[in-house]
């Protein structure tokens, strides 16, 4: 693997894993089965592929079955130091169902837990590149909308998507389901970025060759850890035109505060479930982090068609899976190592 | 795509915040055995539930941890008929139904669940006010999409399956909420019990449907059997309606007939399936009823955009919400009246 040339520590996932594992092994195992397991960090992934590097790094050897989880991933996996991982399955239905099942299950005390929502995403080449790792500040649902086929647009419409009960794509939605927009806590996002931005991200020759097709930086440059906003839709869209729509949509939904950067299929549902838990007093929704690693671009490069771009292998899958843990694990390690401080809130 | 869910959500919040100070009631009875629910109505929006709550006297409030602030209670009557309003969209539906199963304390193991909401209707299958019992429930939204203006020239629309190379290819078989099939005996019983009920209509709906050239779009509503597609994205127009038809065929081996478009049902059914796997729900006792509040495709000469933007002006909110209860009530009555038989399984009418 090529390694991005960056300043700061150059530790591989294995080294990080070893450090973190040592850290955890040194602590006492909570052994009273009658007590709910107090979780310091719950990592939430959607697939086994996303979960694996975390499982490897964190030594998640304790399996806790939870009723209501998916058939494929029926248990939450934990280590002895209160770090746990849930794999939900793909899409909003699976994400909301699994997260809600864990929130409402007996074995876990989530009252002080930090939630690390971690998954692969596609990235806007204007904001990042294949292998980039992103901390979201704003999480916006792009699927809850009206839509007509884009070949039937009236004059003045830029896209077939518009807000529900709106009059046109530039009009405000006339409704809210309550799950459309989740701004995360800026101080927590900033802390996570600070803890991870010097991590040495992986890169690879295939990703490097593929990104060279794009016209400009940051798409053409090696990956970095950045802050950028994410959109959620079960519909995994691709291409320049729906990319422009995502850009305009995020700007509208966030009142101009957010900037579209990545797209994925689950996060608004995951966070919606976490907010149900917060409303019920079971957890603190201010302790949510959303981390993505870009396995691909969300649109074509100059001269390529949208369909060609969609079908292409951007060489980013393995790189992104590694980087997802390379950036996330140091944050988990810090929370665990300084739990006395983090337990009461994000340290200054 | 159930029209007006949006409007209705706002009303739900207002109504919830104006609710009376009901005494908290436990889902489990005081004798220790969990309360066995005979029928659980699952609505998404406040207005969808109003007919049930009023007509069935669902005035017992059972607070459930995790239902959220807009509709925090399951509502029941003395016959053990209950109602849940989930909120709109996949995330709310999945979260609320999970809460119901995990935290209500209710025994749902022999419960007949009726998912009941309003929807957009394909004019080839129904009209405003049509009440449809679904056999298949197909996820429309979990797919890939390229904007139709930049898709390959031969494609009929921009949607194509995950893991597929083109719209006509079947998707990868690894999404467990892609399609659900309702138990056939229960479906037939529900249809037989309800097919002759008088459905509500409205002068505005009658006037609007007259714009359509052929039946059933331009005829008064009836109870029927046809299928549901669901997506958070409320699609409309000719091309996407064709996609709903073809996608439904693709995912049901040609058997399903796309008809009602809704925004929750695959999420609700995914959670019920998980509940069944945990032994808490019987998936063969689940029905999906959708009534049409608006047309999913325009009439001849109307544009896709005009059809969509005028959804709420089609006179369908009254008839669709009214007809949910009208079509479901004979089924509920049969189950409650002859519970000793229905408790063991579907009774053929």
Which uninterrupted H or E stretch holds A41?
strand A41-45
Residue of B91, B108, B145, B162 to mutate when probing chain A, most A C-beta within 10 A: B91
Say if A237 is an interface residue toward chain B (CB within 8 Å): yes
Q: Give chain B positions within 8 Å (CB) of A101.
A: 98, 102, 274
| Model confidence pLDDT, tens digit, residues A246-267 | 999 999 999 999 999 999 999 9
3-state secondary structure of A100: helix
Cis, peptide link before residue A94, omega less than 30° from 0: no
pLDDT, position A348: 84
pLDDT over 70 at B13, yes or no: no
pLDDT, position B334: 98
Least confident residue range of A141-145, B29-33, B321-325: B29-33
Question: CA nearest A198: which of A342, A25, A11?
Answer: A11
Which uninterrupted H or E stretch holds B294?
strand B286-295
Size of chain A, expressed as the number of residues it contains: 348
Segment A126-154 shows an average pLDDT of 98
| Model confidence pLDDT, tens digit, residues B65-92 | 999 899 999 999 999 999 999 999 999 9
Q: Do A94 and B270 touch (CB under 8 A)?
A: yes
Closest CA of chain B from A310, distance in Å: 9
Segment A296-314 shows an average pLDDT of 98
Question: Which of A96, A153, A311 has its CB closest to that of B95?
Answer: A96
| Distance of alpha carbon A16 from alpha carbon B69, whole angstroms | 42
pLDDT, position A85: 98
| Distance of alpha carbon B67 from alpha carbon B143, whole angstroms | 29
Token pair 């893991």 is at which residue? B163
A175 vs A145, which has greater pLDDT? Answer: A145
Closest CA of chain B from A182, distance in Å: 13
Q: Do B234 and A101 touch (CB under 8 A)?
A: no
- Cβ contact A283:A103 at 8 Å: yes
| Model confidence pLDDT, tens digit, residues A149-203 | 999 999 999 999 999 999 999 998 888 999 999 999 999 999 999 999 999 999 9
> With left for phi above 0 and alpha for psi between -120 and 50, is residue A30 left, alpha or beta?
beta
| Distance of alpha carbon A237 from alpha carbon A164, whole angstroms | 19
Mean pLDDT of chain A: 91
- Cβ contact A232:A140 at 8 Å: yes
Question: Which of A105, A167, A272 has its CB closest to that of B95?
Answer: A272
Segment A278-297 shows an average pLDDT of 98
Q: Beta-strand (E) ranges in B215-276?
A: 223-225, 227-230, 233-235, 258-262
Q: Do A97 and B271 touch (CB under 8 A)?
A: yes
Residues A164-192: b if buried by 16+ CB within 10 A, e if exposed: bbbeebeeebebbbbbbbbebbeebbebb
Q: Give chain B positions within 8 Å (CB) of A239.
A: 146-147, 150
Residues 6+ apart with CB under 8 A from B337: none
Q: Beta-strand (E) ranges in B163-256?
A: 179-181, 223-225, 227-230, 233-235
Say if A89 is an interface residue toward chain B (CB within 8 Å): yes
Q: Do A105 and B102 touch (CB under 8 A)?
A: yes
Question: Which of A101, A147, A176 has its CB closest to that of B240?
Answer: A147
Say if A242 is an interface residue toward chain B (CB within 8 Å): yes
Closest CA of chain B from A231, distance in Å: 14
Q: Report residue A97's pLDDT band, with 50, 70 and 90 as the boundaries.
A: very high
| Distance of alpha carbon A196 from alpha carbon A330, whole angstroms | 6
CA A63 distance to own-chain centroid: 23
What chain B residue is nearest to A168 in terms of C-alpha separation?
A: B309
Question: CA nearest A142: which of A269, A228, A47?
Answer: A269
Closest CA of chain B from A44, distance in Å: 16
Residue of B146, B174, B230 to mutate when probing chain A, most A C-beta within 10 A: B146
pLDDT, position A20: 41
Per-residue DSSP letter, B191: H
From residue B330, how far is each of A50, B29, B112, B334, B336 by CA, in Å?
48, 28, 13, 6, 10
| Distance of alpha carbon B160 from alpha carbon B168, whole angstroms | 7
Mean pLDDT of chain B: 92
Closest CA of chain A from B217, distance in Å: 20
> With left for phi above 0 and alpha for psi between -120 and 50, is residue B4 left, alpha or beta?
left
Per-residue DSSP letter, B17: H
Q: Which two tokens stand for residue A137?
A: 């500040």
A7 vs B197, which has greater pLDDT? Answer: B197
Q: Which two tokens stand for residue B205?
A: 């709906």
Cis, peptide link before residue B216, omega less than 30° from 0: yes
Read off the pTM: 0.92
Closest CA of chain A from B195, distance in Å: 32
Question: Which of A70, A178, A179 has its CB closest to that of B274?
Answer: A70
Question: Which of A151, A233, A310 has its CB closest to that of B146?
Answer: A310
Burial of B74 (0-12, 13-18, 19+ CB in 10 A): buried
| Model confidence pLDDT, tens digit, residues B95-125 | 999 999 999 999 999 999 999 999 999 999 9
Question: Which of B102, B144, B266 has its CB closest to that of A104?
Answer: B102
Q: Which two tokens stand for residue A196?
A: 């991870």
Closest CA of chain A from B307, distance in Å: 10
pLDDT, position A34: 52
| Distance of alpha carbon B131 from alpha carbon B127, whole angstroms | 9
| Model confidence pLDDT, tens digit, residues B134-169 | 999 999 999 999 999 999 999 999 999 999 999 999
Say if A144 is an interface residue toward chain B (CB within 8 Å): yes
Half-sphere exposure of B304 (CA within 13 A, CB side): 24
- Cβ contact A343:A337 at 8 Å: no
Per-residue DSSP letter, A347: -
Token pair 């509920």 is at which residue? B332
Q: Give chain A positions within 8 Å (CB) of B87.
A: 177-178
Q: Report residue B31's pLDDT band, with 50, 70 and 90 as the boundaries.
A: low
pLDDT over 60 at B15, yes or no: no
Dmax over CA atoms of chain A, in Å, equals 67
Angle formed at CA A197 by CA A295 and CA A337, multiple of 5 degrees: 110
Q: Give chain A positions within 8 Å (CB) of B142.
A: 90-91, 234-235, 265
Residues B164-173: b if buried by 16+ CB within 10 A, e if exposed: beebeeebee
Its ipTM equals 0.92
| Distance of alpha carbon A21 from alpha carbon A275, whole angstroms | 31
Say if A302 is an interface residue toward chain B (CB within 8 Å): no
């Amino acid at each position: 693997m090529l390694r991005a040339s960056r300043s700061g520590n150059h530790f591989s996932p294995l080294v990080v894993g070893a450090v973190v594992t040592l850290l955890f092994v040194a602590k006492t195992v909570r052994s009273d089965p009658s007590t709910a397991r107090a979780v310091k960090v719950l990592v939430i992934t959607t697939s086994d592929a996303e979960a694996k590097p975390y499982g490897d790094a964190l030594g998640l050897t304790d399996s806790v079955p939870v009723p209501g989880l998916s058939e494929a991933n029926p248990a939450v996996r934990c280590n002895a130091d209160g770090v746990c991982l849930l794999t939900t399955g793909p899409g909003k239905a699976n994400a909301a169902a699994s997260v809600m099942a864990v929130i409402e299950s007996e074995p876990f005390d989530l009252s002080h837990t930090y939630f690390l929502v971690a998954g692969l995403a596609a990235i806007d080449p204007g904001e990042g590149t294949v292998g980039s790792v992103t901390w979201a500040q704003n999480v916006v649902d792009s699927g809850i909308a009206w839509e007509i086929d884009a070949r039937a647009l009236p004059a003045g419409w830029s896209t077939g998507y518009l807000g529900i009960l709106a009059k046109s794509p530039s009009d405000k939605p006339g409704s809210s389901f309550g799950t459309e927009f989740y701004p995360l806590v800026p101080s927590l996002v900033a802390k996570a970025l600070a803890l991870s931005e010097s991590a040495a991200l992986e890169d690879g020759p295939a990703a490097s060759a593929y990104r060279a097709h794009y016209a400009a930086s940051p798409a053409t440059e090696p990956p970095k850890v950045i802050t950028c906003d994410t959109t959620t839709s079960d519909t995994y869209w691709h291409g320049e035109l729906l990319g422009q729509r995502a850009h305009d949509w995020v700007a509208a939904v966030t009142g101009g505060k957010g900037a579209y950067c990545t797209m994925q299929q689950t996060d608004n549902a995951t966070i919606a479930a976490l907010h149900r838990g917060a409303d019920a007093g079971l957890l603190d929704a201010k302790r949510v982090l959303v981390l993505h690693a870009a396995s691909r671009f969300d649109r074509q490069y100059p001269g390529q068609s949208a369909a060609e771009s969609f079908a292409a292998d951007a060489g980013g899958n393995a790189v992104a899976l590694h980087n997802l843990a390379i950036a996330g694990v140091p944050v988990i390690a810090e929370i665990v190592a300084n739990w006395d401080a983090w337990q009461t809130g994000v340290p200054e | 795509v159930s029209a007006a869910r949006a409007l209705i959500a706002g009303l739900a919040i207002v109504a919830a915040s104006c609710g009376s100070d009901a005494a908290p009631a436990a889902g489990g009875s005081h004798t220790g055995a969990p309360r066995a629910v005979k029928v659980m109505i699952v609505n998404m929006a406040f207005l969808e539930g109003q007919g049930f709550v009023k007509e069935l006297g669902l005035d017992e409030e059972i607070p459930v941890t995790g239902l959220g602030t807009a509709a925090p209670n399951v509502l029941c009557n003395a016959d053990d008929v209950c109602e849940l309003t989930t909120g709109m969209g996949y995330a709310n539906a999945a979260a609320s139904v999970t809460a119901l199963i995990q935290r209500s304390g209710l025994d749902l193991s022999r419960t007949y669940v009726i998912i009941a909401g309003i929807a957009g209707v394909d004019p080839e299958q129904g009209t405003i006010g049509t009440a449809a019992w679904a056999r298949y429930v197909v996820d429309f939204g979990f797919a890939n999409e390229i904007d139709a203006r930049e898709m390959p020239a031969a494609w009929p629309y921009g949607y194509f399956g995950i893991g597929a190379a083109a719209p006509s290819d079947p998707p990868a078989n690894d999404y467990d909420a892609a399609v659900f099939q309702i138990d056939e005996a229960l479906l037939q019983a529900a249809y037989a019990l309800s097919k002759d009920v008088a459905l509500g209509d409205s002068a505005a709906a009658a006037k609007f449907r007259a714009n359509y050239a052929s039946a059933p779009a331009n005829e008064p509503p009836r109870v029927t059997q046809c299928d549901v597609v669901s997506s958070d994205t409320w699609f409309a127009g000719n091309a996407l309606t064709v996609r709903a038809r073809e996608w439904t065929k693709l995912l049901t081996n040609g058997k399903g007939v796309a008809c009602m478009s809704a925004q929750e049902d695959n999420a609700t059914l995914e959670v019920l399936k998980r509940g069944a796997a945990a032994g808490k729900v019987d998936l063969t006792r689940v029905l999906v009823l959708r009534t049409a509040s608006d047309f999913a495709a325009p009439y001849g000469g109307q544009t896709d955009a005009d059809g969509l933007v005028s959804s709420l002006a089609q006179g369908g909110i009254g008839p669709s919400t009214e007809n949910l209860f009208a079509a479901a009530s004979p089924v509920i009555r049969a189950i409650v009246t002859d519970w000793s038989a229905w408790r063991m399984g579907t009774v053929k009418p």
